[in-house]
Amino acid sequence: MPRHPIDPESLGPLEADLAVLPGGLGSIPDIVERRARAKTLPGAAEVVDDPRVTKEDRTVPGPSGEPDVRVRIYRPVAASGALPGVYVIHGGGMIMGEVDGEDPVATMLCVELTAVVVSVEYRLAPEHPYPAGPEDCYAGLVWTAAHADELGIDPARLAVYGGSAGGGLAIATALMARDRSGPGLRLLMALYPMVDDRNETPSSRDVTDVGAWDRSTNVEAWGWYLGGREADAYAAPSRATDLGGLPPTYIDVGTVDLFLDEDVELAQRLLQAGVPTELHVLPGSYHASERRAPEAALSRRIWALRVGALRRALA
């Protein structure tokens, strides 16, 4: 059982999902069925159309010798000139997720920040284990930066953004950009990032039956993602021995999230490495609670903190 109580306003939508699917998505052993069922739960995100935003899907070059990568580009209709860019990496534990699921968030960021948003769809495990995911994400970032003029992006104002698995992949992508002399980043925003394959922290042992993203599901996902390989810094950023030289970083995580301890530890190490780091620990928030319960006061606070940080970084 988790040590901290769940925010009461955020609990209802989680209970509604669990009423439809007791045990949560992790109770479905077949990954193809699990992905399909995720789209039918009450809190599942839907593709939205906003008259203030244009959307375009493209296929861009993937890693050398590998398949092309799909991206979705969001542009504010009323804006002109070079705009800030936000490169979005979806979540899903490295085993689920797609750009459609990130559509509401990408649209919101496009409107709220008056920014061009590029959302990437990377290959998933277990069909495509590490390093397919981070290499796809990095290839999409390289393409975005190389086509900044065409996309209407100011290359000096580019952020990478991701939650959960997408947060871990955002950090891995930033590490690759540092190590490969790749695109410069104004901000790395990693929301409750999935960063440690070892599952040894107290919070990773405590959160076993919340129903959002629990220990057994996390252990299973890491096993599928690594596919028998030993984790390195790009697979599990907690294993990085050198975090220096990363862009300014924003991390948030809830007290009822199994990633709590690994994320706090990573933020401390970033600070010790000289990386300007903003960390928010959110009492009562379970994994991705702000997406399940968007009307809760806690969720509104979470989104305000994130959008504010992005605005400051991209100004």
Q: Which residues are catalytic?
A: 164, 257, 287
| DSSP string for 247-308 | PPEEEEEEEESTTHHHHHHHHHHHHHTT--EEEEEEEEEETTHHHH-TTSHHHHHHHHHHHH
Q: Are the C-beta atoms of residues 5 and 284 closer than 8 Å to each other? A: yes
Pairing assessment for the beta strands 277-286 and 249-256 based on DSSP bridges? parallel
Pairing assessment for the beta strands 69-76 and 53-60 based on DSSP bridges? antiparallel
Nearest Cα to Cα of residue 191 among 96, 313, 88: 88
Give the span between the Cα atoms of 303 and 284, in whole angstroms: 15
Q: Kindly state the tokens that stand for 90.
A: 């979806």
Residue 83 three-state SS: strand
Backbone angles phi, psi at 188, to 5 degrees: -110, 110
CA distances from 205 to 24, 94, 216 (A): 18, 20, 10
Give the span between the Cα atoms of 65 and 198, in whole angstroms: 31
Number of Cβ within 10 Å of residue 304's Cβ equals: 10
Q: Are the C-beta atoms of residues 191 and 306 closer than 8 Å to each other? A: yes
Number of Cβ within 10 Å of residue 22's Cβ equals: 9
Q: What angle do CA 59, 167, 152 make, to 5 degrees?
A: 45
